[in-house]
Chains A and B, each alone.
Chain A
């Protein structure tokens, strides 16, 4: 017993969980700060949260090229984890920046909001660094539970309630599947460590034929697919994205999704490598299904948030292409794409945050008619983000998509790439519709309520910079993404 404890303590290596630890700790401190703050003022918590994220960011960066394994191999803070952690931190930071003014506009400046975002981020970092299904599960739940709250954060708004509830029920439901899958895998392999599962498969090559093993793997997969909003587990996405507070929608579509991808990749590629042929077939179908459903349904959407939700589904589909490829390019493409997607999607949402009236009833196509004339800068910026989402050069979206599909082509999935690009072509229509409304229609309103505040402007500027920088000089980040792959 004594030995065990000692061994356990030796194996701990706090270094490996330091970033999440720091962030969680700071989040709790901020929770306390907000408890003692005056009701109705949350700005200081917001800035402190940003500070907390910056600190965490620096801590996380120490993991670059300096992999830290801890807790008997349950946590591995390597380049991969660092990369995804940075994505989540950036996403969280941008979210917080665009939230402050938004919360005040919506008359709900409750400062617990920010610590919750930090918790989510911490959970996401857990997921990205987890190498044991247990740690991954914990990270996932920390992330999810905080997000349930955030989605339903506007408790006076039925819409927000509904979003929170739907997310909660379906999330818990999918957790059931995930856990069941973990249990089955555990039953076959006797371990919950990703490496252990892989080792088992290596030792027992016929494990891939074991029904329980396959079923376990697939159920586990379903849990992650739910989080990344892949069809047919995507149905929650539009509703939740539409109902949740806009910055949270933005955050959900970037940070948690990236974390889910991180976990998915780690589990699939490291752990279930033995199922590669089955999984690639499955991912092939899922990728096509996801991007097609996302794009096609987005065509008929009028509500901008809902449209972007479908767009987000389709982008998850594109990202799955990288998993189909299952090769170095594909994987580093997913990393790169997640980063790109974070910037472009957060940017687009940030603009929506700005142009929404109180209650956000104007965030539909007609509501933004002529925006490009009344608010030229916002118009141009939103257009650039949309172009990036479309995948038009010289924006990051193009490079990301190109990189992604390159992976598929390199692995010989040419038809998948063809379907992918045709899907992009379909997507042009609904993104262009926004541009059409902004520029080709006469202004219906004067957008006088739009006041450009500094934090949101900063978040837009960062997103824009990211989109353009990665569009024109993608080399550095692509190399980092490559180094972050495993």
Chain B
């Protein structure tokens, strides 16, 4: 079993789709139950990964699986090459963890074509898991694209009023970026072929060792970077996100926010940055700048939204700005912050979307002005919403803080000082927009008669939220559970990016009045 764990985990949901095909389409309850069961089993299959201590000691790929897949002589070869390391471990876990919750959240929300909906969710899970565990770039690309289709249908069929526009925009926008990446993938491959470097299909492990000229790295990074930046999404490539989120059904939004966006950041960490370490320094100022703009811009725009879901969507732009900034710091703190922030965003924003879903289910509107005073009617909901809000704001003791703190600290240390300062202001803005929306929705007197008879959360809804709350606090209070298994892999990855994991970018002269963006900082390394 352990030898094929990743394959079993990845394709189990697909197997579930097959099972669903044989369930009558009008038997909604059975469909839901079996989908939930499939996703829970998938989660169970993935659990041994989380408990495996090998990740704490080794940064190498574990649970390797290798099969030759396509081999057309020396010029075209690709393999079924799976593995998981500390970088992808928690993202895999996040995926298997979030999916059952997302499924559970749709219990009453979906009445149209349940079978299709559930099949799409499971298909999506396979795509996501596959993308996280692929070591072969080609295989990764296949899973990467595979995710688009179910998401497209989730938005397009079960979405809101403007769903077609949103779905098509989502699909084409993301595809444009990934298609350029495809060309870049081909280029790397043939560069490797021509340079006679040892190869193993499109295995990134071999590609890491390539000695690409700077010029090539520059363009390749552009292609990869663009593709992932769209997925993240980084400003100004983010406009598909609010549309997609607003229109998507709750479960779709949750998965989109929790996992799909992580594909972009994960792509940077796993592919774009370590593959092209020489081009990386050229882009970092620019990308860090965009991250910071994303943080501030996303927050300011989020602040003025009148639709809660849109607000959360824009807040995602801001949150992922922190992730990116941390990753671009190129040191352990930053990367760890970025990585854990990915998980955090998955949990917190996922939870926020669920929360929006809960009230949407009750009131069929998401306009902030329609609400007010909900706290009196739904105290449990209010409490949970409050906790999630503060997690999203990044209150210490909750997960959000750990991520933001480490990311900013890393950025500060990694020579992105001024970026970090501006990014830190996002901490203020996050409080503004989140608390403001909380106030307008939850506090005050019930002024809208339609809100008079709102029911508090049902047991099912509480069950959905509890695991999320657990992790909000777990990561906030004892993140070492997660860090300990990420550290070796992160260290390895940073080396690959050409960075020293424990570097501190020194100021030129500690007493000079100006510590500028452009200080040509020298890297001073200290190990204790």
Would A and B touch once assembled, by the CB under 8 A criterion?
yes
Contact mask B89-129 → A, CB, 8 Å, 1/0?
00000000000000000000000010000000000000000
| B75 and A328 contact, CB distance less than 8 A | yes
| A406 and B190 contact, CB distance less than 8 A | yes
| A409 and B187 contact, CB distance less than 8 A | yes
- In whole angstroms, what is the CA distance A394 to B168 when docked? 20
Which residues of B170-199 have CB atoms within 8 Å of chain A's CB atoms?
171-172, 175-176, 179-180, 182-183, 186-187, 189-190, 193
A387 at interface by CB-CB < 8 Å = yes
B495 at interface by CB-CB < 8 Å = no
One of A309-317, A354-362, A423-431 contacting the partner? A423-431
Known: A403-B76, A409-B183. Contact between A393 and B145, CB under 8 A?
A: yes
Known: A428-B175, A440-B164. Contact between A405 and B72, CB under 8 A?
A: no
B contact residues around A424 at 8 Å (CB): 175, 179
A contact residues around B149 at 8 Å (CB): 387, 392
A contact residues around B75 at 8 Å (CB): 328-329, 410
| B172 and A429 contact, CB distance less than 8 A | yes
- In whole angstroms, what is the CA distance A168 to B494 when docked? 65
B141 at interface by CB-CB < 8 Å = yes
| B142 and A394 contact, CB distance less than 8 A | yes
B148 at interface by CB-CB < 8 Å = yes
Known: A398-B142, A439-B153, A475-B70. Contact between A425 and B176, CB under 8 A?
A: yes
B24 at interface by CB-CB < 8 Å = no
| B157 and A439 contact, CB distance less than 8 A | yes
B contact residues around A381 at 8 Å (CB): none
A332 at interface by CB-CB < 8 Å = yes
B146 at interface by CB-CB < 8 Å = yes
B contact residues around A433 at 8 Å (CB): 168
B contact residues around A394 at 8 Å (CB): 142, 146
In the assembled complex, the CB of B167 is this many whole angstroms from the nearest CB of chain A, namely 7
Q: How many residues of A contact B (CB 8 A)?
A: 37
Known: A421-B180, A425-B179, A440-B156. Contact between A475 and B172, CB under 8 A?
A: no
A contact residues around B175 at 8 Å (CB): 392, 424-425, 428
Q: Interface residue tally of chain B, by bracket?
A: 35 or more
| B72 and A475 contact, CB distance less than 8 A | yes
Contact of A436 among B69, B164, B182, B190 (CB under 8 A): B164
Known: A406-B186, A409-B187, A478-B70. Contact between A422 and B179, CB under 8 A?
A: yes
Contact of B148 among A328, A392, A399 (CB under 8 A): A392
B contact residues around A387 at 8 Å (CB): 149
B449 at interface by CB-CB < 8 Å = no
B366 at interface by CB-CB < 8 Å = no
Contact mask A410-428 → B, CB, 8 Å, 1/0?
1000100110011011001
Contact mask B483-495 → A, CB, 8 Å, 1/0?
0000000000000
| A409 and B186 contact, CB distance less than 8 A | yes
B270 at interface by CB-CB < 8 Å = no
A contact residues around B522 at 8 Å (CB): none
Number of A-B contacts (CB under 8 A): 96
| A405 and B183 contact, CB distance less than 8 A | yes
Contact mask B324-365 → A, CB, 8 Å, 1/0?
000000000000000000000000000000000000000000
| A393 and B142 contact, CB distance less than 8 A | yes
A373 at interface by CB-CB < 8 Å = yes
- In whole angstroms, what is the CA distance A428 to B142 when docked? 17
Known: A392-B149, A406-B189, A439-B156. Contact between A373 and B70, CB under 8 A?
A: no
In the assembled complex, the CB of B453 is this many whole angstroms from the nearest CB of chain A, namely 31
- In whole angstroms, what is the CA distance A479 to B72 when docked? 5
In the assembled complex, the CB of B218 is this many whole angstroms from the nearest CB of chain A, namely 13
Question: Main SS of the interface on chain A?
Answer: helix
B310 at interface by CB-CB < 8 Å = no
Which residues of B134-164 have CB atoms within 8 Å of chain A's CB atoms?
138, 141-143, 145-146, 148-149, 152-153, 156-157, 163-164
- In whole angstroms, what is the CA distance A473 to B69 when docked? 7
Interface centre among B69, B76, B145, B163 (most CB of A within 10 A): B76
B71 at interface by CB-CB < 8 Å = yes
A432 at interface by CB-CB < 8 Å = yes
| A409 and B72 contact, CB distance less than 8 A | no
B contact residues around A306 at 8 Å (CB): none
Contact of B141 among A393, A440, A473, A478 (CB under 8 A): A393
In the assembled complex, the CB of A378 is this many whole angstroms from the nearest CB of chain B, namely 14
Contact mask B184-222 → A, CB, 8 Å, 1/0?
001101100100000000000000000000000000000
B contact residues around A475 at 8 Å (CB): 69-72
- In whole angstroms, what is the CA distance A418 to B163 when docked? 30
A402 at interface by CB-CB < 8 Å = yes
| A414 and B113 contact, CB distance less than 8 A | no
Known: A398-B145, A440-B163. Contact between A478 and B168, CB under 8 A?
A: no
- In whole angstroms, what is the CA distance A440 to B112 when docked? 12
| B171 and A428 contact, CB distance less than 8 A | yes
In the assembled complex, the CB of A34 is this many whole angstroms from the nearest CB of chain B, namely 42
Known: A418-B183, A428-B172. Contact between A474 and B70, CB under 8 A?
A: yes
A contact residues around B76 at 8 Å (CB): 329, 403, 406, 478
- In whole angstroms, what is the CA distance A479 to B143 when docked? 24
A482 at interface by CB-CB < 8 Å = yes
B510 at interface by CB-CB < 8 Å = no
- In whole angstroms, what is the CA distance A473 to B141 when docked? 16
- In whole angstroms, what is the CA distance A332 to B71 when docked? 13
Contact mask A193-226 → B, CB, 8 Å, 1/0?
0000000000000000000000000000000000
Chain B residue at minimal CB-CB distance from A419: B183
B contact residues around A328 at 8 Å (CB): 75
- In whole angstroms, what is the CA distance A417 to B163 when docked? 32
Contact mask A106-123 → B, CB, 8 Å, 1/0?
000000000000000000
Known: A440-B157, A440-B164, A475-B71. Contact between A373 and B148, CB under 8 A?
A: no
- In whole angstroms, what is the CA distance A406 to B156 when docked? 32
Contact mask B47-73 → A, CB, 8 Å, 1/0?
000000000000000000000011111
- In whole angstroms, what is the CA distance A409 to B182 when docked? 11
A contact residues around B143 at 8 Å (CB): 393
In the assembled complex, the CB of A57 is this many whole angstroms from the nearest CB of chain B, namely 24
- In whole angstroms, what is the CA distance A403 to B72 when docked? 11
| B145 and A392 contact, CB distance less than 8 A | yes
Contact of A405 among B73, B182, B193 (CB under 8 A): B182
In the assembled complex, the CB of B118 is this many whole angstroms from the nearest CB of chain A, namely 14
Chain A residue at minimal CB-CB distance from B182: A421
Contact mask A318-349 → B, CB, 8 Å, 1/0?
00000000001100100000000000000000
In the assembled complex, the CB of B131 is this many whole angstroms from the nearest CB of chain A, namely 11
Contact of A429 among B141, B142, B168, B190 (CB under 8 A): B168
B contact residues around A473 at 8 Å (CB): 69
- In whole angstroms, what is the CA distance A482 to B73 when docked? 9
Which residues of A424-468 have CB atoms within 8 Å of chain B's CB atoms?
424-425, 428-429, 432-433, 435-436, 439-440
In the assembled complex, the CB of B183 is this many whole angstroms from the nearest CB of chain A, namely 5
Contact of B172 among A409, A414, A432 (CB under 8 A): A432
A contact residues around B171 at 8 Å (CB): 428, 432
A contact residues around B71 at 8 Å (CB): 475, 479
Chain A residue at minimal CB-CB distance from B163: A440
- A436-B168, A440-B157 known; 9 new pairs, CB 8 Å cut-off, are A332-B72, A393-B146, A409-B183, A421-B179, A424-B179, A428-B171, A436-B156, A436-B164, A440-B167
Closest 8 A/B residue pairs (Cβ): A421-B179, A393-B142, A409-B186, A425-B176, A410-B190, A440-B156, A417-B183, A478-B72
CB-defined A-B contacts under 8 Å, sample of 20: A329-B76, A393-B146, A398-B142, A402-B182, A405-B182, A406-B189, A410-B193, A414-B183, A414-B187, A417-B186, A421-B180, A422-B176, A424-B179, A432-B172, A435-B152, A439-B156, A440-B156, A440-B164, A479-B72, A482-B72
Residues in B lying within 8 Å of A, measured CB to CB: 69-73, 75-76, 113, 138, 141-143, 145-146, 148-149, 152-153, 156-157, 163-164, 167-168, 171-172, 175-176, 179-180, 182-183, 186-187, 189-190, 193
